[in-house]
Structure formats: C-alpha cells, structure tokens
C-alpha cells in the first residue's frame, strides 16, 4: 500500500489537512492518528468493512473489541441504548481525556466493533489533532493502538511506521503522545462499576464520583479465560521480543537480585529498565535504560513502551524490569509490565 504521511503541528493545525483526513475516514480508509495516550489505528466505526481492515492490519484477534472515539458528548446518544447518571458524571469530569466508558450498545453499532458483545467502549480524546479530526468528520472512529498486535504500543510517529507503514492509507505525524499508556476503561454495565484497564485516570480519581467502584482482579493477576470487554484483558500485550521479568519488593533487594541474575546470565545480552534512583547501581548490563524518577510515575508511564521498543532495537536476549507500588498510576504501569512479562514476576524481595 502507498501510505501517505501528513505532518500536523499541534500549535498550528491546518484545516486543509484535517479535511483530507476526514475525507479518508468517510471513504473507508485506514488512518493512524495521534491521541494523548498512544497512537491509534482508526477507521469509520459505522463501516463494517473498514473496521475489519483494522483487525487485518494489526493481526488482531476478532474477539478483541474496539474503542469508538468521538468529538462531542451528544454523539454518545446514538451509540448506546441508555446513559446512566454515573456515565454522565464521568464524562463531565474526565472528557475529553484518557477515560473509556463501556455502556450497552445501540443497534447502530456493529458486532465487528464490539466483537459480538452487547456493550460498546467509547472515549473522547483530548489530543488537539485527534479532536480536530473527530470534530470535522463527526463520525465515531474505531481505533485500537497503532501497533502490531501484542507488541508495545506506539507513542511516536516513527514507531508507527515500523509496524504499520505499509498497511494503512494515511499516517498522521502529530508528535509524541504525552500520557504514553492507553486509556483507563470503566465498565458501567455492571453493578458496582468496574475498572477493566487502568490508565492515567486512576481508581482514586474515579472514587470521587463512584465510591464503590471495583477493580478487575485480572489487571495484575491476568487470566486467559476471560471474555474481553476491553482491549488488553485477554491476550498477551505490550510484549517485547525478548523474555522480560519484573522484580517487586524492597528496592535495594531488587537491585541486588537483578545484578546477581545479570552476572549469572552474562553470556546473554541483558537490558535493565531502571529508575533515576537506581540507574547508577547496576553492573554487567548491556543496555541500561532509565524510565524516570519514582517520584514521577507519569514520566515512567510515558517512557515505558518506548523503552521496551528500545530493547527490541538492540536485540537483547533478556530484560529485567524494576517493579512499582500498585496504587494510583503505579497500578496502570504494573498492569502493562505484567502483560509485557507474560506474568513472569518475582515477588517478595
């Protein structure tokens, strides 16, 4: 496929470029565009064939539902059969932003988008370029992360080209995604509501409006038996090519254990995903990457996927990753790390 590249400056959005992208969506084409979380691979959510092309381009399992992206809250009414008060409250507080809501779908939403479920996932992104595109076309755009299924998500234009450069009609270069991990997903079709995927909007944030909200136990202790309502629930996600292991516990003991294992495996090319507080404490490591300060978990979330892709670039054999406390956005970071490691977590250090 001859992929068109459209570069857009977020501080100087050109209307003619937005209209070209909008037209492409209306014609059933595949467009990669930036959001504040990660880059998305989008198609017209009302076009079944276009949505099927998303699954083909990504190599995505057909039972993994897609998220619909919208520009205005008024669009929700035609996509769902009912809007509970809790949904209205969450929309008012967190939209536009990195929060996805699962609601009962209307007849207008196809089974291709929902993977045959009677629920639909919807969000309103805050990225200026995404908002301009969505407002111009006024279509619900189905868009999972713009990467080959199972690989770390893409947070930059260059990473999108690596995965999908020849498989889509348009790639929009809108700079780096700020948040760096996918949106929080909240299921409002169950009582009490449940967080199915953590993100920048944390459980603590949502509890202000929904005090009884629960968290899917599979977020950290994942199960392959779940029927996924949300992307990321069932299949191996965010995974680098090399085996990855995460170490959780007292930080000094974590560093000591990683150094010990690195020495034992010195015949392998080893990468360590460390933090500002420990980056100078590692030895016998071929690739040492600094995720950021433990005092700034948003920085660590923003860097995680790019660091995992750096490990792929360097063709390492084994990756050791420091773990984090499972609270606030730390729960979101650990969710991605656990899936990247395929559940290989060393606890109790």
238 is an annotated ligand-binding site residue: yes
183 is an annotated ligand-binding site residue: yes
Nearest to 305 by CA among 180, 219, 179, 199: 180
Q: In 3-state terms, what secondary structure has residue 97?
A: coil
197 is an annotated ligand-binding site residue: yes
Strand 170-173 versus strand 4-7 pairing type: parallel
222 is an annotated ligand-binding site residue: no
Cα separation, 16 vs 334, in Å, equals 41
20 is an annotated ligand-binding site residue: no
177 is an annotated ligand-binding site residue: no
Cα separation, 201 vs 67, in Å, equals 17
149 is an annotated ligand-binding site residue: no
145 is an annotated ligand-binding site residue: yes
Torsions phi, psi of 92, nearest 5?
A: -65, -35
320 is an annotated ligand-binding site residue: no
24 is an annotated ligand-binding site residue: no
294 is an annotated ligand-binding site residue: no
- Host H or E run for residue 113: helix 111-114
- Host H or E run for residue 162: helix 157-164
Residue 282 contacts residue 258 (beta carbons within 8 Å): yes
37 is an annotated ligand-binding site residue: yes
Annotated binding site for ATP: 60, 64, 119, 145, 153, 197, 238
Annotated binding site: 37, 60, 64, 69, 119, 123, 143, 145, 153, 183, 197, 238
Annotated binding site for L-threonine: 37, 69, 123, 143, 183
């Amino acid at each position: 496929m001859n992929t068109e590249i459209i570069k857009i400056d977020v501080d100087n959005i050109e209307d003619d470029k937005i209209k070209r992208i909008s037209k492409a969506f209306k014609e059933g084409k595949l467009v990669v565009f930036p959001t504040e979380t990660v880059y998305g691979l989008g198609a017209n959510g009302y076009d079944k064939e276009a949505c099927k092309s998303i699954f083909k381009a990504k190599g995505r399992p057909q039972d993994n539902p897609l998220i619909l992206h919208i520009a205005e809250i008024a669009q929700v009414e035609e996509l769902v059969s009912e809007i509970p008060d809790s949904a209205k409250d969450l929309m008012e507080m967190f939209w536009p932003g990195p929060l996805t809501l699962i609601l009962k779908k209307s007849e207008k939403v196809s089974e291709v988008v929902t993977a045959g479920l009677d629920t639909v996932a919807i969000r309103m992104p805050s990225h200026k370029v995404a908002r301009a595109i969505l407002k111009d076309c006024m279509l619900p755009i189905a868009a999972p992360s713009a990467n080959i299924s199972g690989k770390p998500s893409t947070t930059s234009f260059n990473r999108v080209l690596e995965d999908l450069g020849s498989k889509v009609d348009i790639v929009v270069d809108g700079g780096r995604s700020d948040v760096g991990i996918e949106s929080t997903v909240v299921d409002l079709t169950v009582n009490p509501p449940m967080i199915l995927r953590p993100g920048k909007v944390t459980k603590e944030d949502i509890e202000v409006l929904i005090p009884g909200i629960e968290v899917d136990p599979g977020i950290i202790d994942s199960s392959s038996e779940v029927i996924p309502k949300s992307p990321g629930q069932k299949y191996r996600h965010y995974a680098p090519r090399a085996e990855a292991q995460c170490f959780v516990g007292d930080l000094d003991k974590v560093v000591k254990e990683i150094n010990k294992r690195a020495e034992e495996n010195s015949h392998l090319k080893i990468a360590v995903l460390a933090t500002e507080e420990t980056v100078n404490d590692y030895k016998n490591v071929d690739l040492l990457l600094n995720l950021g300060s433990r005092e700034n978990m948003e920085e660590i979330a923003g860097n995680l996927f790019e660091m995992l892709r750096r490990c792929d670039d360097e063709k390492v054999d084994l990756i050791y990753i420091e773990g984090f406390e499972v609270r606030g956005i730390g729960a979101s970071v650990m969710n991605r790390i656990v899936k990247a490691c395929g559940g290989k977590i060393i606890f109790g250090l």
